[in-house]
Amino acid sequence: MWLVDIIAVILIIAGAVTYAGFFFYGVAIKRAPKKFLSQTPDLKVETPVAGASWGEGQEWVTRQSFKNIDILSHEGLKLRGYLLTSERAAGRTAIIAHGYSGKGKDMGACAKLYYENLGYNVLIPDARGHGESAGNYIGFGWPERRDYLQWIQYVIEETGQEAQIVLHGVSMGGATVLMTSGEALPPQVKAIVSDCAYTSVKEQLSYQLRRMYRLPSFPFVHSASLVTRLKAGYFFGEASALKQVRKAKVPILFIHGDTDTFVPYTMLDKLFEACPSPKEKFIVPQAGHGLAYDTDKAGYVSRVSSFVVRYVV
């Protein structure tokens, strides 16, 4: 009889963990409105990187004549990007990655910086599962790293072999460009700017699980990771900006606000120390998540500009 009881308990626990895996997949990974973001106390706004100055950037976007660009991912997903060309560009282009649950045109402030201050072309893609791009899941930057290789190739084909490219991302976009940094990048990619990136999907989701649900990482993150592998094609453990940045050869500027508790500020040092390529660190005092630009606009523009012009002629 006791054996039957033990089996029953095991089956109940296994069922609960499996249910939790599907539940957390639906909350964090599945393409759907992320209502929990607006209920998170350390995010002042509904989505990361949508503060007052990002709104200013969004207003700037509406006044520009962006060209819609479509490419196909290696699995056949149609991905949408928005291209704005500058007469001053001379082959220089910034590809800008948005944050979790956002869209390309949320990145108007960054686009304005590169277009108006530096005279670059700007390309702002919608990540898979976001905006006008296809996909029913969020990749947290891992499958997107391959998408960015394709966006890079698109720019080279359009601009020519003399193209010079900067990758700039914020939040999930910051992790995306760091994950891209570990790939075999063409020589046209000259610099990367990563703003408030997380070290890995596993570490970030484990952190949020503790904060939001008071639950340990094991076995819930592992169960959700397995569901994600089945539905989206990747495990959380492999989606690591930290592992990728260890292979980086391109210069990287790391940015983080020192009061960011959504993506912990402590992740900055781990990423920075792991990077073997030329690197700089820009810490913005009193800046929360995705609010480095909003908190110190002049400093942000100055540091980003001085960094990229060192590597882009």
Give, in degrees to the nearest 5, the angle at Cα 288 between 283 and 289: 95
Confidence of residue 299 (pLDDT cuts 50, 70, 90): very high
Q: What is the pLDDT of residue 212?
A: 76
Give 166's strand partners. 94, 191
Q: Tell me whether the omega of the peptide bond preceding residue 276 falls within 30 degrees of 0, making it cis.
A: no
Q: Give residue 96's identity as a one-letter amino acid code.
A: I
Residues 193/253, Cβ–Cβ less than 8 Å: yes
**Residue 14 scores a pLDDT above 50:** no
Q: What is the pLDDT of residue 226?
A: 86
Q: What is the pLDDT of residue 38?
A: 53
Reduce the DSSP state of residue 306 to 3 states and report it. helix
Q: What is the pLDDT of residue 5?
A: 46
- The one-character DSSP state at 126 is P
Q: Between the CA of residue 137 and those of 65, 182, 234, what are the distances in Å?
A: 29, 23, 11
**Which pair of tokens denotes residue 158?**
């359009």
Q: What is the pLDDT of residue 233?
A: 87
Half-sphere exposure of 179 (CA within 13 A, CB side): 30
CB atoms within 10 A of CB 118: 20
pTM of full prediction above 0.75: yes
**Which pair of tokens denotes residue 18?**
């499996």
* Numbers of helices and strands, H then E, in the chain: 11, 8
Name the burial class of residue 64, with classes exposed (0-12), middle (13-18) and buried (19+) by CB atoms within 10 angstroms of its CB.
middle
CA–CA gap between residue 101 and residue 34 (Å, rounded): 7
Concatenating the DSSP letter of every residue in 52-84 gives HHHHHHHHHHHTS-PEEEEEE-TT--EEEEEEE
Q: What is the pLDDT of residue 129?
A: 95
- The one-character DSSP state at 27 is I
What pLDDT digit, counting tens, does each position of 124-166 carry? 999 999 999 999 999 999 999 999 999 999 999 999 999 999 9
CA-closest candidate to residue 208, choices 146, 261, 144: 261
What pLDDT digit, counting tens, does each position of 18-61 carry? 645 566 677 777 777 656 555 555 544 434 444 556 667 888 99
What pLDDT digit, counting tens, does each position of 159-205 carry? 999 999 999 999 999 999 999 999 999 999 999 999 999 999 999 99
CA–CA gap between residue 35 and residue 28 (Å, rounded): 10
The span from the first CA to the last CA of the chain, in angstroms, equals 77
Confidence of residue 1 (pLDDT cuts 50, 70, 90): low
Q: How large is the average pLDDT for residues 229-255?
A: 94
What pLDDT digit, counting tens, does each position of 90-105 carry? 999 999 999 998 999 9
